[in-house]
Amino acid sequence: MNSETCERLYNTYYMRVFSYIMTMAGDRHTAEEITQEAFFKAFSKSSSFRNESDEVTWLCAIAKNCFVDETRRRSKTTSIPEELPAAGKSIEQQITDKDSSFRIHTALHALDEPYREVFELRVFGELSFSQIGTIFGKTENWARVTYHRAKLKLMERMDEHE
C-alpha cells in the first residue's frame, strides 16, 4: 500500500474507527491508542485486505481485535480510572446525568450478544447497517432487525428499572 493510499484511508476513516473503539473502551486515551495501533497494523499488513468488504469495515475489524488484545493485557492489571469533573454543570445535573448514564449502560451491558454489539456499533460507532452486517458476516437486513430488537429490549429493561 503506497503512502497516498495510507494517508487517504487515515484521513477518511480515522474518526469512524476512533468512535467505534471509543464506544467499547469508554476512555479517550485508550481509544486513541487502539485506533493508532489498528491503522498501523492495517498499513503494515495491507495485503490482508482482499476487497471483500468496505475499507472501514476492514479497519473496524482490525481495531476490534486490537481492543480485545488490549483488554486481555489490561485484565492482568486492573486500575481505577480517574474521573474528570464536568465543566459548567451543577452537582445536581452531574448526579442526574451520571445516574441516567449508569442505568443506560447497566441495561445495555445486560443485553445478550449480538444485540449489545450491534446497538453499540450503530449508536456509538455510527456504522451503517450494511457495515454492521458485513462485520458479522450477515446481511444488512439482519443488522436492521437485530438493532431494532436490541432497542426494544433496552427500552424494556429501562422501563423495568424505573
Asked if the structure places residue 82 within a domain, the reply is no
CATH number of the structural domain spanning residue 10: 1.10.1740.10
Task: Tell me if 81 is assigned to some domain.
Answer: no
Q: 1-56 pLDDT, tens per residue?
A: 677 878 888 888 888 888 888 888 888 888 889 989 988 888 887 656 656 667 88
pLDDT digits (tens, 9 = 90+) for 39-48: 888 888 765 6
Task: Say what the pLDDT of residue 80 is.
Answer: 45
155-to-105, 127, 148 alpha-carbon distances in Å: 12, 21, 11
Total residues belonging to the chain:
162
Residue 138 scores a pLDDT above 60: yes
Per the structure block, which three cell numbers stand in for 40?
498501523
97 and 69 in a common domain: no
8 A C-beta contact, residue 120 and residue 24: yes
Residue 84 lies in a domain: no
Query: Range of 121's domain?
Result: 91-160
If asked whether residues 68 and 8 sit together in one domain, one would say yes
Whether residue 63 is found in the same domain as residue 115: no
- The number of distinct structural domains making up the chain is 2
